[in-house]
Structure 1
Amino acid sequence: MARITYISGPIVKATLENESPKLLEVAYVGKDKLIGEIVSVERDTITVQVYEATEGLKLGEPVILSGEMLKAILGPGLLGSIYDGIERPLMKLGERIEKGASVYPLSKDKKWHFVPLLKKGDEVEEGDIFGYVKESSIKHFLTIPNGIEGVIEEIKEEGDYTINEELLCFHNGRKLTMIQEWPVRFGRKYRKRLKPDTPLITGQRIIDFLFPIAKGGTASIPGGFGTGKTILQQTLAKWCDADIIVYIGCGERGNEMTEVLEKFPELEDPKTGKKLIERTILIANTSNMPVSAREASIYLGITIAEYFRDMGYHVALMADSTSRWAEAMRELSTRMGELPIEEGFPAYLSSRIAGVYERAGFVETMSGKVGSLSIIGAVSPPGGDFSEPVTRHTRRFTSVFWALDKELANARFYPAINYTQSYSAYGETVRVWWEDIYKEWYELRSWMMKLLQEDDKLQRIVKLLGSEALPEEQKLTVEIANLVKEVFLQQNAFDPIDAYCPPEKQIALAKVLKSLYDWWQACLKEAAIPIKTLKGQKIVEEIVKLRFLKSVPENIEEKIESTYKNLIKIYGEREK
């Protein structure tokens, strides 16, 4: 047993007697047995990061070492649950969380219908699937834990069992239940990492078409206050084609997280028709909860996500926000007296951010299945400054950067993604998938990107002198770009049709806009028709309304051709 000699907020130091502590070992602090983790060992002194409020803690109180690392309890019952940063179920803890409260994260009484997939005499090794239970709309596969192999001596027949009942027994006497435990700070094993070549379809046109994220990819959503980070993450959680959603509210305001907790159980899942919460795990560690548990919540969420990935599912993890997580690291580091670097963050900020995002991936699991974990982290730079350390380091380790813009958000442009600052490294990797739908997808995407970049340069002149100061060729670029922004980039999250746009419709809309651009160019070249006349045609109004239709009419491009062919003919006759 150790005794407390120093207390500074969530950081507690204790003098050892005869113990041999391990780094990252769980410790129980004080008479209330507050849960903590050893983060430093120096001769006969340990430093403990306490995951609960330390008010009332006194010098001399005992610190008991557990001999184990901080682990996630994994098994049936995770889906639909709401946990705090150290996997205590908030619904069971009630409105007031008592100090040292210890509640098992899964129900020990509920029975699950077990279906065995192996038989007596089968030889198995770590990662092999020996059965499954039905949980919500998915099969919850049960796997052989890490480091275990052998010949099955006995396996239970199909039937209803609790999570703690023994289902499988080996020749050496080792027995397995439905439960697994895994240290949260270490990634779960897999056979090999695969190329992320399948897009995670979100239904948001600006994301899927221009700045795609692959399944198993990483993305960051930086943006100042009020730019819509939380709303965008909730939209992605609802509409993306992942099998499982893990949503982490890390250090966000309590009222925002309350809204998430209230909305998710009521939202209808567009994939299954059931409630979205049934394939979602929520981890809530709001700004008024202990700061140290905020630091652990990210690792807990990733470990749970990896668990479902290893069953062969595609998992999307939303972390809102990693800036608050980094701020928790900064506070803890400062209290421990560690040497700070820029803006007071610890020297290991960069490596910690890298360690989180590197656990994403498209992998072949130990069971031979293919699964993925996509990590999408929101970043909240103070004052919207993207050069601050957390945003800058996050940008280094993520392959997609969706930069949210304050001006677009104020203009009620949703999603408020700045198309000139954003980028995606997955454009080439997902190219084959998109070209299976439409062969010229890459050329169509490149045209739209180039058009928007040219428009961005021209906007500086437009703001100073007005669009009338531009020559007709540049007016064409500006007007088509305006249509691209209105028809393609902007979406109405409250419209039942426009809230989600399937890939086929995205391509159809882009083709219509490219067709319009080509015909305007033809009109300008062949008959010198003014842009004001071109954009005044009735067909333009029809194009603007296309995003609110379930599908793009097949004859729309023919109507565009007919409209502007007639216009060329009329102007040609006038010239004669």
Structure 2
Amino acid sequence: MGEGRIYLINGPVVRATGSQGFMMNEMVKVGKEGLIGEVVDIGEESFTVQVYESTTGLQVGEPVRGTGKLISAYLGPGLIGKIFDGIERPLDRIALLHGDFVVRGVEIFPLDENKRWRVEMKKEVGDTVRPGEIFALVQETPLFEHRLLVPPHVSGKVVEAKPSGDYKIHDVLLLISDQKGNVHHLTLYQEWPIRIPRPVRERLLPTIPLITGQRVIDFFFPLAKGGAAAIPGGFGTGKTVTQHQLAKWSDADVVVYIGCGERGNEMSDVLEEFPRLVDPRTGRPLMERTILIANTSNMPVSAREASIYTGITIAEYFRDMGYNVALMADSTSRWAEALRELSGRMEEMPAEEGYPAYLSSRLSEFYERAGRVKTLSGEEGSVTIIGAVSPPGGDFSEPVTRHTKEFVRCFWALDRNLAYSRHYPAINWLTSYSDFGEDLKEWFREHVGEDWDGMRERAMALLGEDDRLQQVIKLVGEDVLPDEHKLIVETGRLIKIGFLQQNSFSNVDSFCTLEKQFRMMELILLFYERARELIASGMAISEIKRSDVYLKLLRMKEEIPNDQLERFDTLREEIEKFFDNLRARYKEGAKSAS
């Protein structure tokens, strides 16, 4: 392990002499206080370190000592339900030992070293183990079963095995002898370098949707498990609220939420709200399947850059157990700003808007770690990445948003006008897109309804036509439109307000099942088709709007809960009856007139 001496300090970037004995991405201890840092550049006689803590008070001449290890995440029982900083230090234990503020140089093992876990062993002496295989089980929470994995680089024969029982995190459970005669000690945890993706056996096609319960996403812009999505939007458009909803309601087994460079009050809201939330699938607290990583805007900027990699490494670990993981990154723009600041302090040549030239490749490295895979042990698991983007002034042409679009297949564009008019989620249905529609078509047809994609296309066509008519209305008013165009406008209003708008605070409408979404859109399109037939035969649209059927369609999202879907049959009968009676009266009136 190498040792150098500091000769330059530039904010979180430190340069030191004596590059011998160091390696790239090695974790080092900087200064007398042992600040945590990472080697990011090595020259012939000097090397550069980015320090993950405040360098205030650090002096030239202080030592930089290598640890011989890459900057890594510690993976094992005790991650679920906890909150860590950007380099996986447990903030609750830091607060308990040192107060509300993170003390410089503090080093606490991320996992509880004193707690005993009940371990159910799956291997015994003489068994052969393969990389990634499950060798023991730990019931980490009443909701979550933690599966202990053989590290990816280890295989061989078990020469010693502990029986099932209670063990601490550092206790050795298995001794594995490989073909070269090397003996590997397997404990309850393993380490993995955060900048290196964990290996998998095979990448699978994204053919299963991540169900979010948000109609604008599930119905119009679906996201596949193992896919990557971006939520761009200016200040106040609802990026964080949308990600909170996805964390609460998505059908992922594990949620990793990264607060990267966001305001501290937003993370405090998460910390206060999540423990009170109940998992709708199990009735247990949502925190029993959630991990929080907080690196807020008042924390060191370099740790913000590392927090994204820490989060994705933890997500990959749970994926390798065979779980579906949803990772929320809020926001990648703040992460990119950290890259820009560090790049500037390292005196690298800036590219567009001051960002480093490697911004695009860093974004691709992050989003490409998403995927639905077959793990080394043959299990199926996935990591789905949902990254918020905060373009300055809502300008989607700025570099972070533009480069992000190159690597995601789902783009949920938040609209300032929708947000300010209290339309939630404020996802613009005209500028958003999803490339997963074709991949998921068969799944939706099989599990929800044969006409799912057909209804989606008809609804999108109506919204597009409604937008064109809205431009005409702004110029000449709605009264001059013919009735068939007025019907499109009214149906567009039904879709926008009665279907796309969703109340995140409603007990009934905060989450909407796929079947309810299908039934709602089915009735809206039924209303349109029946009304169009009558208008084509000469009836005025005012006759159709006079009924309370229109209002019932607007209110059905709140009035029909997810567990009372049979009421849609009643509403359908009412709609059919209304139009049948209207047609009969119209024909009778036409006969009398003739």
TM-score range (shorter-chain normalised) is over 0.9
Number of the residue aligned with 1:141: 147
1:499-510 alignment, distance < 5 Å: 499-510=510-521
Q: Is the 8 A contact 2:144 2:288 kept in 1?
A: no
Asked whether 1:6 is paired with 2:17, we answer no
Query: C-alpha distance in 2, partners of 1:59/1:121?
Result: 56
Q: Is the 8 A contact 2:226 2:382 kept in 1?
A: yes
State which drifts further: 554-563 or 321-330.
554-563
**Offset at 1:20?**
2.6
Q: Could you tell me which of 380, 389, 409 is aligned with 2:399?
A: 389
**Offset at 1:531?**
1.6
Number of the residue aligned with 1:556: 571
Query: C-alpha distance in 2, partners of 1:394/1:178?
Result: 37
1:55-74 alignment, distance < 5 Å: 55-74=56-75
Number of the residue aligned with 1:158: 164
After superposition, the C-alpha distances for 1:534-566 in whole angstroms (9 at most, x for unaligned) are 122121122122101113421322221211121
Number of the residue aligned with 2:474: 463
After superposition, the C-alpha distances for 1:382-422 in whole angstroms (9 at most, x for unaligned) are 00000000000001100100000000000100000000000
Asked whether 1:365 is paired with 2:393, we answer no
Number of the residue aligned with 2:188: 178
Query: C-alpha distance in 1, partners of 2:330/2:48?
Result: 28
Q: Could you tell me which of 468, 490, 498 is aligned with 1:487?
A: 498
1:87-486 alignment, distance < 5 Å: 87-94=88-95, 95-136=100-141, 137-171=143-177, 172=181, 173-436=183-446, 437-486=448-497
**Offset at 1:97?**
1.3
Q: Which amino acid aligns with 2:134?
A: I
**Offset at 1:170?**
2.4
**Offset at 1:43?**
0.9
After superposition, the C-alpha distances for 1:142-164 in whole angstroms (9 at most, x for unaligned) are 11112111111122211111111
Query: C-alpha distance in 1, partners of 2:58/2:116?
Result: 40
Q: Which amino acid aligns with 2:529?
A: D
After superposition, the C-alpha distances for 1:292-317 in whole angstroms (9 at most, x for unaligned) are 00000000000000000000000000
Query: C-alpha distance in 1, partners of 2:372/2:545?
Result: 46
Q: Which amino acid aligns with 1:88?
A: R
Q: Which amino acid aligns with 2:583?
A: I
Q: Which amino acid aligns with 1:462?
A: I
**Offset at 1:194?**
0.2
Query: C-alpha distance in 2, partners of 1:52/1:170?
Result: 38
Query: C-alpha distance in 2, partners of 1:508/1:343?
Result: 47
Q: Which amino acid aligns with 2:64?
A: V
SS in 2 for 1:154: strand
Query: C-alpha distance in 1, partners of 2:63/2:241?
Result: 45
Number of the residue aligned with 1:35: 36
Q: Which amino acid aligns with 1:348?
A: Y
State which drifts further: 90-99 or 190-199.
90-99
Asked whether 1:544 is paired with 2:535, we answer no
Q: Is the 8 A contact 2:217 2:223 kept in 1?
A: yes
State which drifts further: 120-129 or 384-393.
120-129
Q: Which amino acid aligns with 1:26?
A: M
Q: Which amino acid aligns with 2:539?
A: I
After superposition, the C-alpha distances for 1:462-510 in whole angstroms (9 at most, x for unaligned) are 1222211211111111110100111110111111110000000000001
Q: Could you tell me which of 520, 529, 532 is aligned with 2:531?
A: 520
Query: C-alpha distance in 2, partners of 1:457/1:66?
Result: 63
What count of residue pairs does the alignment treat as equivalent?
574
SS in 1 for 2:107: coil
Query: C-alpha distance in 2, partners of 1:410/1:553?
Result: 32
The runs of 5 or more residues in structure 1 that have no matched partner are none
State which drifts further: 549-558 or 78-87.
549-558
Number of the residue aligned with 2:24: 23
Asked whether 1:567 is paired with 2:544, we answer no
Query: C-alpha distance in 2, partners of 1:72/1:223?
Result: 31
What TM-score does the superposition give when structure 1 sets the normalisation length?
A: 0.98
Show structure 1 runs of 4+ deviating over 3 A: none
Q: Which amino acid aligns with 2:139?
A: K
After superposition, the C-alpha distances for 1:255-282 in whole angstroms (9 at most, x for unaligned) are 1111111111111121221111111000
> What is the percentage of aligned positions where both structures have the same residue?
53
The runs of 5 or more residues in structure 2 that have no matched partner are none
Q: Which amino acid aligns with 2:12?
A: P
Query: C-alpha distance in 2, partners of 1:8/1:286?
Result: 21
